[in-house]
Structure 1
């Protein structure tokens, strides 16, 4: 197996992970500077994020099912 894709994927995960961490930290620090948040507001945001994650998971599972169904219909060997 070639080592180049493994190194590039690890590098990509590290770069995007660092970028996401810094973006979340920056937004958190900006919010901290402003007014204090209420528990109700935090719970509402957590609920919205959870809903988006669930919807994304359902859509991802549907796409996976569609891809395998299309592959089988086209006669591809997916085993």
Structure 2
């Protein structure tokens, strides 16, 4: 039974190493392609900014709702 961890760890290492190799190769090959149009890049950045802003507003709303619920239930919020 002592050989099982050795075989599984070795197999896991090989699978992860091969996956990392192909991931790095794919990203390198993508970088060598013609650059995307600036218009498309601006649209992607703008969409990412909108998603980040929506996430932050949602997070703030969740924090406020949690605070209100804790106060309404009379829970102690001091450490």
Moved over 3 A (4+): 25-31
Q: Tell me the TM-score normalised to structure 2 length.
A: 0.58
Gaps of 5+ in 2: 1-19
Do structure 1's residue 63 and structure 2's residue 62 form an aligned pair? yes
Count of residues in correspondence between the two structures: 56
Partner Cα distance (2:73, 2:32) in 1: 56
Partner Cα distance (2:35, 2:62) in 1: 41
Give the number of the structure whose alpha-carbon radius of gyration is greater.
2
Work out which structure has the larger RCO, using CA pairs closer than 8 Å and 6 or more positions apart in sequence: 1
Gaps of 5+ in 1: 1-21
Partner Cα distance (2:71, 2:40) in 1: 47
Q: In structure 2, do the counterparts of structure 1 residues 49 and 29 end up closer, same or farther at CA, with 3 Å as the change threshold?
A: farther
Q: Tell me the TM-score normalised to structure 1 length.
A: 0.58
